[in-house]
Amino acid sequence: MAFTHDDILLPLAITVIIDRKVRSPEMQSLATQATGLFELFELEPMEDNDIQEWFKAHSKDLETKLKGERRNTLVLRALSRFKEERDVEAIYDAMVSISVSDKEYVVSESELIKSAAAIWGFPRPPIKVDRS
């Protein structure tokens, strides 16, 4: 299946936004993970600045949707697009990398990762982040 830049960036952006704190390590991880995924999915590369501009252009709308009643629908649509094992593992690994990049445990991020694991049939993720 052919994916677009938006298909790749959406679940990654949700991972950054879901805890309602956009931190520098998460934004750096977003750019790093997206760059690798674009290559994996044979998409044209995007510069880090372009990835951050995409994020800025979409973040307010995503924040609003993630606070609303259709939050689960947004997450499900973003994740269910990926079905092949290679694709699922790549997106999942990128989401996990982003979620732990700020070294802070946040329930909403943990729930997102657990939801992704459940949707894609993975066992509970063995993620450990210090709560300090």
pLDDT at residue 126 greater than cutoff 70? no
In sequence order, the 6+-apart residues with CB closer than 8 A to the CB of 128 are: none
Model confidence over 23-72: pLDDT tens digits? 778 899 999 999 999 999 999 999 999 999 999 999 999 999 999 888 88
CA distance 18 to 20: 5
Could you tell me which of 11, 17, 13, 5 has the C-alpha nearest to residue 75? 11
In sequence order, the 6+-apart residues with CB closer than 8 A to the CB of 96 are: 113, 125, 127
